[in-house]
């Protein structure tokens, strides 16, 4: 943990991949927070600006309401002032006939003027319009305790005043503007008043305010009370405007609800969050893919380093060559094996590494590899060849050559060589030794066997039963030894390519009959019956007759040897087109599938213990295979249909196959 923290505190100590991973932890959340904050700030700024716009609108509405209110109040004031001027110029005389239409007209012009009243000596004697205001006519102020103190104050202070709202005698809520009239020499005349219909005025104000989503009220500062209902105003946003009223201090107050976040801004906010999340996600993905790529690159680099190490340290000579002559990679073992420096290889072709006698074979192998290369299915060939080295004579290599990669312009060859010079030298030594020992043994063994045969024939003297038995055992073992030596010599000749073959046309059927005859005594010894349903027609093959007889004898003797007493060994022939197949089947135990791969290999005995019992060298099948292949045929094993073993070999017929034979059963065996 401490190590992790100290590494995080010092990011420079981290590897590039570690730094990218650290950024992956830090950057996406940081971007997310920054973008969220930005979008929130933008939304709030926009909301604030919306609120300002709304406040402005409220202020404008409030100003227009204030002007409406002020207009009505001023109208009352001007009507009263007009009357005052009239009374003063007419010396307090009221010409009712002239005044009535004029005042009625005036009252009708004011939208909310209820009436205009004249109260000489404090009694309302004239009221316009009379209709609807009859109740107020004759009102004597001193008799109305609710009104008299206000009226008295106007008279005493000689200051006009707006009074109310209060319940008018003639009904309804009213605001009354009063002015005391004094004629010259300060002679008190009475009171003139204009009543405003407060109900309709307030209703009009409220209706207009409501239309704009506002609530309004008038606050009387003097009396510290609301005039349009007691509840003040509602809403979080409040604006106030002072109303100039004679003798009063009024504020028109407007209230409106706090604006809710509009849908547009809510959508912008959500959009901002989504954008922030998406951007952070994209950044995270980008950093992840970057770190994955870096990790992959690092893994690739590691694997390349590992491969390079293995390549360089390998004791096996390895090289990678482009287009036959551009040596891309060679390992030290390669240079050491061939005794060349890497720069000495440049310009050399692959084929130049081989002994001149081998070059044609190598070119043919390369051509074959080239032809059989299919993308993603590289083809390799392995062969033993003499190498040309400036420092080592007789350098033999087990060569693996192949194409591992190819484009339209490039072909990458891989070349691996194992030095088998020592193995070949030892093989040759062993072969020479076996050959020498076999040769040296054969001559004395021949004379020993001759002697033993003479003794066994009884030509010289009669031996007792025990001595005869011993002589016969010695003779049998001597013959087995002779067989082994002959097999060893044959094998050695075959491997060294020194075996002589005299290929000539022969009748295969005749050869098979001859072989059967020669094996007959051996079969009788094992109480085995030999069966051959020979075809009548000739089957001509080009073979070395003695070598072919050797192969057939080996197969027949094995079949007899591994058969139980009273069993049958069958020899049959099948012809298919130009191929003839000779099959030897027995009724023995056969060969287990797991052991079948051991057949035809030198010194290989499937079950050594049982074979020991039966005797044998383990070379017969290997020699037969070599011999048949030298005669351009093939040899193999197949299980017998009813148990037991079937060995066969195939040869090519010289002539066109005889129609009679090709179309029917041959030698008692059904054609394939």
- For the chain, helix, strand, coil in percent to 5 are 50, 25, 25
- The minimum distance between CB 488 and ligand ADP, in angstroms, equals 12
Please identify which residue in 69, 387, 645, 651 interacts with ligand ADP, judged by CB under 6 A: 645
Q: How far is the CB of 514 from ligand ADP (least distance, A)?
A: 20
Check binding of 586 to ligand ADP (CB under 6 A). yes
Using the contact rule CB under 6 A, the part of the chain among 60-68, 213-221, 600-608, 659-667 near ligand ADP is 600-608
Report the residue number, 198 or 622, with the smaller CB distance to ligand ADP: 622
490 scored as a contact of ligand ADP (CB under 6 A): no
Q: Is 568 in the site for ligand ADP (CB under 6 A)?
A: no
Q: Which stretch binds ligand ADP (CB under 6 A): 297-305, 344-352, 538-546, 598-606?
A: 598-606
Tell whether residue 402 is a contact of ligand ADP (CB under 6 A): no
Applying CB under 6 A, does 588 fall inside the site for ligand ADP? yes
Binding to ligand ADP by residue 559, rule CB under 6 A? yes
Residue of 279, 314, 611, 634 that binds ligand ADP (CB under 6 A): 611
Closest distance between ligand ADP and the C-beta of residue 551, in Å?
Answer: 10
Order of strands across the sheet that contains 579-585: 529-532, 568-576, 579-585, 645-652, 634-639
Which of 39, 170, 587, 605 is the binder for ligand ADP (CB under 6 A)? 605
Helical residues (DSSP H) of 497-544, grouped into ranges = 508-525
Is residue 591 part of the contact set for ligand ADP (CB under 6 A)? Answer: yes
Is 558 near ligand ADP (CB under 6 A)? yes
Q: Is 122 in the site for ligand ADP (CB under 6 A)?
A: no
State the SS3 of 109-128.
Answer: HCCCEEEEEEEECCECCEEE
- Single out the residue of 399, 621, 631, 651 in contact with ligand ADP (rule: CB under 6 A): 621
Segment interacting with ligand ADP, rule: CB under 6 A, options 119-127, 131-139, 373-381, 613-621:
613-621
Separation of alpha carbons 549 and 248, rounded Å: 150
Tokens read off for 477? 């073992």
CA-based max dimension of the chain: 206
Minimum CB separation of residue 589 from ligand ADP in Å reads: 6
- State which of residues 172, 618, 636, 639 lies at the interface with ligand ADP (CB under 6 A): 618
Nearer to ligand ADP, 76 or 646 (CB): 646
| 87 counts as binding ligand ADP under rule CB under 6 A | no
Q: Where are any strands of DSSP class E within 341-453? A: 380-387, 395-406, 411-419
Q: Which is nearer to ligand ADP, 165 or 620 (CB)?
A: 620
> Which one, 321 or 591, has the nearer CB to ligand ADP?
591
The Cα–Cα gap between 600 and 620 comes to 8
Can you give the three-state secondary structure of 576-629, one letter per residue?
ECCEEEEEEECCCCCCCHHHHHHCCCCCCCCCHHHHHHHCCCCCHHHHHHHHHH
According to DSSP H, which parts of 256-331 are helical? Answer: 263-313
Residue 607 is a binding residue for ligand ADP (CB under 6 A): yes
Looking at the Cβ atoms of 99 and 591, the one nearer to ligand ADP is 591
Closest-approach residue to ligand ADP (CB): 616
Instruction: Phi first, then psi: give them for residue 242, nearest 5 degrees.
Output: -80, 135
**In angstroms, rounded to a whole number, what is the distance separating the alpha carbons of residues 387 and 358?**
8
| 380 neighbors 402 (Cβ within 8 angstroms) | yes
Tell whether the torsion through CA atoms of 535, 540, 541 and 546 is positive or negative. positive
Helix 620-630 × helix 465-496 angle, to 10°: 40
DSSP 325-342: TEEEEE-HHHHHHHT--H
**What is the per-residue burial (b if ≥16 Cβ within 10 Å, else e) of 366-380?**
beebeeebeeeebee
* Binder among 83, 419, 617, 627 for ligand ADP (CB under 6 A): 617
Residue 179 lies near ligand ADP (rule: CB under 6 A): no
Angstrom distance (rounded) from CA 192 to CA 491: 158
Give me the 537-556 binding string for ligand ADP, x by CB under 6 A, dash otherwise: -----------------x--
Q: Please report, as ranges, the residues that interact with ligand ADP according to CB under 6 A.
A: 554, 558-559, 562, 586, 588, 591, 599, 605-607, 611, 616-622, 645
């Amino acid at each position: 943990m401490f190590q992790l923290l100290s590494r995080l505190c010092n990011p420079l100590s981290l590897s590039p991949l570690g730094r990218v991973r650290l950024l992956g932890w830090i950057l996406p959340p940081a971007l997310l927070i920054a973008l969220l904050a930005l979008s929130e700030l933008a939304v709030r700024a926009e909301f604030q600006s919306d609120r300002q716009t709304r406040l402005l609108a409220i202020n404008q509405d409030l100003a227009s309401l204030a002007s409406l209110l002020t207009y009505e109040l001023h109208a009352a004031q001007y009507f009263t002032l007009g009357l005052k001027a009239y009374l003063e110029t007419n010396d307090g005389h009221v010409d009712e006939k002239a005044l009535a239409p004029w005042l009625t007209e005036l009252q009708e012009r004011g939208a909310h003027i209820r009436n205009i009243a004249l109260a000489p000596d404090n009694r309302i004697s004239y009221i316009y319009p009379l209709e609807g205001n009859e109740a107020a006519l004759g009102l004597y102020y001193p008799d109305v305790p609710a009104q008299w103190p206000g009226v008295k104050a106007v008279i005493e202070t000689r200051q006009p005043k707006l009074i109310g709202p209060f319940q008018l005698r003639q009904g309804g809520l009213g605001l009354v503007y009063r002015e005391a009239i004094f004629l010259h020499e300060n002679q008190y005349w009475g009171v003139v008043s204009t009543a405003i219909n407060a109900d309709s005025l307030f209703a009009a104000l409220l209706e207009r305010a409501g239309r704009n989503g506002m609530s309004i009220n008038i606050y009387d500062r003097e009396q510290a009370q609301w005039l349009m209902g007691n509840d003040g105003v509602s809403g979080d946003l409040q604006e106030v405007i002072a109303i100039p009223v004679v003798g009063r201090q009024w504020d028109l107050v407007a209230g409106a609800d706090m604006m809710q976040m509009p849908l547009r801004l809510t959508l912008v906010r959500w959009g901002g969050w989504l954008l922030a999340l998406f951007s952070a996600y994209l950044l995270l993905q980008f950093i992840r893919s970057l770190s994955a790529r870096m990790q992959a690159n690092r893994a690739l680099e590691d694997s390349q380093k590992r491969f390079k190490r293995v390549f360089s340290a390998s004791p096996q000579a390895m090289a990678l060559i482009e287009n036959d002559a551009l040596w891309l990679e060679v390992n030290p073992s390669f240079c050491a094996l061939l005794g060349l420096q890497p720069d000495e290889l440049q310009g050399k072709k692959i084929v130049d590494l081989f002994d001149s006698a081998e070059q044609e074979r190598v070119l043919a192998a390369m051509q074959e590899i080239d032809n059989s290369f299919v993308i993603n299915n590289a083809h390799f060939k392995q062969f033993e060849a003499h190498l040309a080295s400036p420092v080592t004579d007789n350098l033999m290599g087990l060569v693996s050559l192949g194409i591992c990669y190819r484009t339209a312009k490039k072909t990458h060859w891989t070349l691996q060589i194992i030095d088998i010079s020592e193995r070949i030298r030892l093989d040759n030594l062993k072969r020479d030794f076996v050959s020498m020992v076999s040769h040296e043994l054969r001559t004395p063994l021949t004379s020993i066997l001759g002697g033993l045969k003479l003794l066994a024939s009884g030509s010289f003297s009669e031996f007792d039963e025990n001595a005869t038995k011993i002589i016969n055992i010695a003779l049998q073992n001597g013959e087995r030894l002779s067989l082994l030596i002959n097999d060893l010599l044959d094998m050695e000749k075959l491997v060294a390519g020194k075996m002589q073959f005299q290929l000539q046309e022969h009748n295969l059927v005749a050869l098979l009959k001859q072989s059967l005859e020669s094996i007959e005594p051996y079969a009788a010894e094992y109480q085995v019956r030999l069966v051959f349903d020979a075809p009548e027609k000739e089957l001509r093959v080009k073979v070395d007759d003695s070598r072919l007889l050797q192969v057939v004898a080996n197969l027949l003797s094995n079949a007899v040897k591994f058969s139980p007493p009273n069993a049958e060994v069958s020899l049959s022939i099948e012809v298919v087109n130009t191929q003839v197949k000779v099959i030897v089947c027995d009724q023995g135990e056969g060969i287990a599938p797991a052991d079948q791969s051991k057949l035809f290999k030198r010194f290989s005995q499937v079950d050594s213990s049982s074979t020991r019992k039966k005797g044998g060298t383990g070379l017969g099948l290997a020699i037969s295979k070599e011999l048949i292949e030298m005669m351009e045929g093939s040899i193999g094993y197949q299980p017998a249909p009813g148990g037991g073993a079937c060995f066969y070999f195939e040869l090519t017929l010289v002539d066109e196959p005889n129609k009679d034979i090709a179309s029917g059963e041959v030698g008692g065996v059904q054609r394939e």
